Structure 1
Amino acid sequence: MTAVVRDYMTPNPYTIRADAPITEAIKLMEEKQVRGLPVLNSNGTLVGLVSEADLIVREAPLEPPLYITFLGSVIYFESPESFHQHLKKTLGQQVQDVMTPNPHTVSVDAPISEAARLMVTHHISRLPVLDHDGQLVGIISRHDLLRALHNN
């Protein structure tokens, strides 16, 4: 029998509203000892995921992208978009300002191998788990995948 996400996910994960203050996310993550929270809008729909990395970036020094000017044009060596994202996260006051929007998700009935593939492919540590109606029912982390490997 193939192990599925339902067997190893954490059901009913702690969540936070998109319009909540960042300080509330930090407090909840500290109190509950979790490294990420699914973010819900006012209708209870999953709109993002906020992680320790999203919050820590606020403390990293803000460095503008490298560029040169050539014949009156500006040529960037890296995307100015990443600088704008960092700036938004640094100055943001609400969870929606720092979260990763539209997170990758996995179905509750997906094989564990699908969750592992998504995490490896997208370099992420956790996935919100959705039921057949698209409602959040759990979260699965790398640690949960290790438990699945141990049990097989």
Structure 2
Amino acid sequence: MTTALVQDYMTPQPITVQEDAAIADAIKLMEDHQIRGLPVLDHQNTLVGLVSEADLIVRQAPLEPPLYLTFLGSVIYFESPESFHHHLKKTLGQQVKDVMSDRPFTIKATAPISEAAQLIVKHHISRLPVLDGENNLVGIITRHDLMRALHP
């Protein structure tokens, strides 16, 4: 029995978006193609991130500054100010690069399907860009694709 590979279940030639595209363009692509996330490419067609529904929905969430306490002239934060700045950037951003998740987890097309499942479960993600031997984007594999792999 042969081991199932990522390339056997991935969606080849995924729909992508450029990093400097308007957020509205990414939303339209996702709605038109009924997909929940897009690989983001730079002008050399190199993968630079992923934009997902979660990255876009955060724009609708209320922006709450981090809780802090002033004590003897010092500010003590109860939450990370960095997460507030990250949320602020996503809320005010106008381009895909402002809201995308950068440095996405990826997988090679020739990797076993079990490795894709392990990455998706371990990192609580919904999709993995699939790369060839030269690190070119050749596909995307999602939780739904992994479910198909379970069916004989």
For the aligned pair, the TM-score class normalised by the smaller chain equals over 0.9
1:71 deviates by 2.1
1:73 corresponds to which letter in structure 2?
S
Percentage of matched positions with identical amino acids: 74
Instruction: Say how many residue pairs are matched.
Output: 151
Residue 3 of structure 1 aligns to a residue in which SS? coil
Q: Where do residues 2-13 of structure 1 align in structure 2 (5 Å cutoff)?
A: 2-13=3-14
Q: Give 1:75 deviation, angstroms.
A: 1.4
Match of residue 97 from structure 1? 98
Q: Corresponding residue for 2:110?
A: 109
Structure 1 length-normalised TM = 0.97
Deviations 1:91-118 (A, max 9, x none): 0000000000110000101111111111
TM-score, scaled to structure 2: 0.97
User: Letter of the aligned partner of 1:20 in structure 2?
Assistant: A
* Distance in 2 of aligned mates of 1:120 and 1:83: 27
CA distance in 2, matches of 1:57, 1:21: 16
Which amino acid in structure 1 is aligned with residue 134 of structure 2? D
1:40 counterpart = 2:41: yes
Q: Deviations over 1:35-89 (max 9, x none)?
A: 0000000010000000000011000000111111222211111211111111000
Give the distance between the partners of 2:76 and 2:116, measured in 1 at CA.
39
Write the distance in 2 (CA, Å) between the matches of 1:120 and 1:24: 30
Partner of 1:18: 19
Unaligned runs of 5+ in 2: none
Unaligned runs of 5+ in 1: none
